[in-house]
Amino acid sequence: MDIQRLEGLRGCGGAGFPVHIKWQAVANEATPEGGKVIVCNADEGEPGTLKDGWLLNEQPRRVLLGMQRAAAMVGAVRAYVYLRPEYTEQLRFLQVAINDLIEDGFLSPGSGAMWNGAGFPGRSVQRPGHPLPPQEMPNIAPAAATGLPLRLDIVLGGGAYICGEETALLESMEGRRPQPRHKPPYPTQSGLWGLPTLMNNVETFWWAERILSGEIETPGSHRLYSLSGDVERPGVYEAPVGITARDLIDHFGGGVVNREQISCWIPGGAASGVLPASCLDTPLSPEGLKEVGTSLGTAGVVVYAKPTQPVEVAAEIMKFFADESCSQCTPCRLGNRAFSDWISGVHEWPEPEVTERWLEAMELGSICGLGFTAPLVVRQMQRWFSEAVV
């Protein structure tokens, strides 16, 4: 099956990287002795985002089939779902789906083993190149050569926001503190235990299965939007890429609660920043949101009605980032805490040139997206709500 059929689909975890390029990169890698690996990031820690948890409740089989198709196309026979520990209900649905797929011949017997998250008591230490204890290691060769079914297990994470970054997640799976790695090499080259690794999030595998099964003819035309906050019908909705926030709120979310006025809103999860009500007619697409200085991210739309103030929302976001920073990078470790204090009024704002130096230090001196996208929240406040932050 041609990986190019996925052209047009972008990753739904936040970065929006073209899926077919990532899959092709893993397929092109030579298969080492330890094989290739598929990882599904089901950690879903981005505030305002709930679509992955919903999918694992409603359609876990389709997500797992997406992973199975990916394994067959890139030549992998091992796969893992890295699951958010709070998703206990989703875990039950995943286990049922795995057992059903074993019976149907899509997954190998023994799939569904549980592994505890890194740094927690009871976690089995897995040696590099050996994702299972020696006595449980199946004698397997690349799927493309043997046609053997996929071995798929579950890893319970530790609930760290930073594990939304793929290399921090891999560090967690390998039993170390979850801190992002320097790149290159990229996970497609050297990922879990140094093996070529394909990692996508839950929604991405779900869309891939729908596309490759022939259900969808135009990849990337729709997204799942998490809609929450002060709306009448919060939930997860499938809608076209490019729908406006106003249409999403009115036609899917039933409007704002008590018909209150909107104070501000978040377009794509907390990392996408805070926008004013005047931007509600902006298309929810990469191109549309770029015009207002942000991105679609995880498509987690959060609505805030008056009297909530934008500066309150921004302060909470920066406090969250300060608390969740892995502390590896000094600009991120110090910068998020400083901006949290400045926005919330704990300390006075510095001079504009000092603020800009701090923002640039974070953007240029951080290893991962937490550090170099967090300044977006501040820049959005400067652009749209300058009277509140200076």
In a domain, 84, yes or no: yes
Provide the pLDDT confidence category of residue 349 given band limits of 50, 70 and 90.
confident
In a domain, 289, yes or no: yes
Provide the pLDDT confidence category of residue 121 given band limits of 50, 70 and 90.
very low
Position 57 scores a pLDDT of 97
Over range 166-188, report the average pLDDT: 92
Over range 205-231, report the average pLDDT: 96
Provide the pLDDT confidence category of residue 1 given band limits of 50, 70 and 90.
low
Provide the pLDDT confidence category of residue 134 given band limits of 50, 70 and 90.
very low
Provide the pLDDT confidence category of residue 117 given band limits of 50, 70 and 90.
low
What is the overall mean pLDDT for the chain? 89
Q: Give yes or no for residue 143 having a pLDDT over 90.
A: no
Q: Are residues 15 and 84 in the same domain?
A: yes
Cα angle 284-290-295, degrees, rounded to a multiple of 5: 60
Bin 60: left if φ > 0, else alpha if -120 < ψ < 50, else beta: alpha
- The CATH code of the domain that includes 276 is 3.10.20.600
Q: Give yes or no for residue 148 having a pLDDT over 80.
A: no
pLDDT digits over 236-277, tens only?
999 999 999 999 999 999 999 999 999 999 999 999 999 999
Question: Which residue, of 259, 286, 308, is where some domain finishes?
Answer: 308
Strand 235-240 to 222-229 pairing? antiparallel
Which of 109-113, 156-160, 275-279, 328-332 is predicted least confidently?
156-160
Q: Give yes or no for residue 128 having a pLDDT over 90.
A: no
In a domain, 217, yes or no: no
d(CA 337, CA 354) in angstroms, rounded, equals 15
Mapped onto helix, strand or coil, the DSSP state of residue 98 is: helix
d(CA 44, CA 224) in angstroms, rounded, equals 14
Domain of 240 in residue numbering reads as: 222-308
Which of 56-60, 146-150, 230-234 is predicted least confidently?
146-150
Provide the pLDDT confidence category of residue 23 given band limits of 50, 70 and 90.
very high
Q: Are residues 268 and 327 in the same domain?
A: no
Would you give the end-to-end CA distance of the chain in angstroms?
Answer: 56
Question: Which residue, of 292, 308, 324, is where some domain finishes?
Answer: 308
Over range 114-140, report the average pLDDT: 44
Q: Give yes or no for residue 133 having a pLDDT over 70.
A: no
Position 390 scores a pLDDT of 53
d(CA 340, CA 374) in angstroms, rounded, equals 11
Dig out the tokens for 44 from the structure. 């879903």
Over range 95-114, report the average pLDDT: 94
Over range 21-47, report the average pLDDT: 95
Q: Give yes or no for residue 196 having a pLDDT over 50.
A: yes
Q: Are residues 14 and 80 in the same domain?
A: yes
d(CA 59, CA 37) in angstroms, rounded, equals 23
In a domain, 332, yes or no: yes
Position 147 scores a pLDDT of 57
Provide the pLDDT confidence category of residue 347 given band limits of 50, 70 and 90.
confident
Q: Are residues 304 and 329 in the same domain?
A: no
Cα angle 333-336-340, degrees, rounded to a multiple of 5: 140
Q: What is the share, in percent, of the chain residues with pLDDT greater than 90?
A: 79
Q: Give yes or no for residue 118 having a pLDDT over 50.
A: no
Provide the pLDDT confidence category of residue 377 given band limits of 50, 70 and 90.
very high
H helices of 75-212, where?
88-103, 143-146, 166-173, 202-212
Q: Are residues 234 and 162 in the same domain?
A: no
Over range 217-243, report the average pLDDT: 96
Position 289 scores a pLDDT of 95
Q: Are residues 143 and 61 in the same domain?
A: yes
Q: Are residues 168 and 252 in the same domain?
A: no
Report the number of distinct structural domains present in the chain.
3
Q: Strands, DSSP E only, in the chain?
A: 37-42, 78-83, 114-115, 151-156, 197-201, 222-229, 235-240, 262-266, 275-276, 300-305
- The CATH code of the domain that includes 346 is 1.20.1440.230
In a domain, 153, yes or no: yes
d(CA 313, CA 324) in angstroms, rounded, equals 17
Mapped onto helix, strand or coil, the DSSP state of residue 361 is: helix
- The CATH code of the domain that includes 126 is 3.40.50.11540
pLDDT digits over 88-97, tens only?
999 999 999 9
Mapped onto helix, strand or coil, the DSSP state of residue 205 is: helix
Cα angle 68-71-75, degrees, rounded to a multiple of 5: 150
Question: Which residue, of 163, 184, 212, is where some domain finishes?
Answer: 212
Q: CB–CB of 237/252 below 8 Å?
A: yes
Position 141 scores a pLDDT of 39
Q: CB–CB of 84/91 below 8 Å?
A: no
Position 142 scores a pLDDT of 38
Q: Are residues 229 and 320 in the same domain?
A: no
